[in-house]
Amino acid sequence: MEKIRIALVAAAVLCAPFATAQTATKIKVGLMLPASGAYASLGTAIENGFKLYVAEQGGKLAGREVEYARVDDESDPAKAIDNVNKLLKRDNVDVLVGTVHSGVALAMAKVAKETGTPLIVPNAGAAAITGSMCALTTFRSSFTMWQPAYAMGEVVAAKGHKNVVTITYKYAAGDESVSGFKEAFEKAGGKVVKELNLPFPNVEFQALLTEIAATKPDAVYAFFAGAGAVKFVKDYAAAGLKKSIPLYASGFLTDGTLEAQGADAEGLLTTLHYGDGLGTARDNAFRQAYTRVYKGEPDVYAVQGYDAAQMLAIGLNAVQGDLTKRQEFAAAIERAKIDSPRGAFTLSRSHNPVQDIYLRQVVGGQNKVIGVASKALADPGHGCSL
């Protein structure tokens, strides 16, 4: 027995330097994204974008080879804590990247803050992530729900519409999208006359579309994304509403969905921090590289994934890959200008992008950028005291 014990200890000692060298060289990135459910295609685009940037750096960031651990979060908030703990405890990741759904991301932000794990959120727009739950090493490469929604409130008011019905999923992302829209629209003299919603990821829109038809507003504002967005745009047109009541939305309604929406999406006006046809050298190079590797066109989610990797690289380079230097890691990202395909952006004090919100129109199956709805729009970051 004693011999076995000595042999085990000796083996552990011999293995120890090897294990340390391994962790010192590789960096393990935990990707927590949806690979199934209504937001699956959004998760894929984010992962593609993230991996494209890392591949462009030769698979290494700050000299450390990047390794991935993945978990399918199914966009299910009830499983979020377990899923993030799988990455932290089972896979021992150094960094968390995720996710799409705000309800899931809020749980990630809580665990990341409690454990001091760096987190980069490549989509989810709930305000609290870079508001009341903000943390030294929590960053967002995407947006808050408020940003494109507020910009659209101004656009719809400027069109002369007075009465609007809103429709969305009943969870943080939908609620905050509607409140951002309402804030700008009502400040400009409009009135939100009815707020309709349904539980995520339900796609039985018929009763709500009948209610819109009966209410006869001047316009409708919607937040849907992924599979729900495809079905909503098709059902809105099939109900005959597209001809009579103009539909406006944050750009999630038509990003990554146009092929499936077809003619039913043509002409729609949306606001978002990315779009087609920007025509800058940076965006052209990104789009060519993305299309070469993945064979399809990139969308806003791919850009957010790509920029999450850029932000991680900036932080890691500043500390020569040493993530124990948390202050310096965070400070480097805080003062950076991120060279994004969407256009360069900086981060607010609460670590959310300060960015242009474009006005886009669906033309020929593309989200064509037709103007800037709001220049360098910063989320207020309420409740964050970094």
Minimum CB separation of residue 173 from ligand PHB in Å reads 3
| Contact with ligand PHB (CB under 6 A) among 225, 309, 311, 313 | 225
Binding region for ligand PHB (CB under 6 A) out of 111-119, 121-129, 159-167, 178-186: 121-129
Minimum CB separation of residue 61 from ligand PHB in Å reads 26
DSSP assignment of 18-59 equals HHHHHHHH-EEEEEEE-SSSTTHHHHHHHHHHHHHHHHHTTT
Please list every residue from 173 through 212 that binds ligand PHB, using CB under 6 A: 173
Q: Is-contact 347 134, C-beta < 8 A?
A: no
Phi (first) and psi of residue 80, to 5 degrees = -65, -45
Please list every residue from 239 through 298 that binds ligand PHB, using CB under 6 A: 252
Minimum CB separation of residue 250 from ligand PHB in Å reads 8
The size of the chain, in residues, is 386
Contact between 124 and ligand PHB (CB under 6 A)? yes
Nearest to 109 by CA among 101, 122, 121, 123: 121
What is the chain's Cα-based Rg? 22
Residue 179, Cα to own-chain centre: how many angstroms? 19
Please list every residue from 321 through 360 that binds ligand PHB, using CB under 6 A: none
Q: Is-contact 121 100, C-beta < 8 A?
A: no
| Beta carbon nearer to ligand PHB, 102 or 147 | 102
Q: How many residues bind ligand PHB (CB under 6 A)?
A: 11
Minimum CB separation of residue 318 from ligand PHB in Å reads 29
Task: Mention every residue, 6+ apart, whose C-beta is less than 8 A from residue 293.
Answer: 48, 52, 55
The residue behind tokens 């009135």 is: 191
| Contact with ligand PHB (CB under 6 A) among 125, 228, 343, 381 | 125
Q: Is-contact 377 155, C-beta < 8 A?
A: no
Contact between 308 and ligand PHB (CB under 6 A)? no
CA distance 236 to 149: 20
Binding region for ligand PHB (CB under 6 A) out of 29-37, 95-103, 212-220, 259-267: 95-103
Contact between 219 and ligand PHB (CB under 6 A)? no
**Would you tell me which residues interact with ligand PHB (CB under 6 A)?**
39, 100-102, 123-126, 173, 225, 252
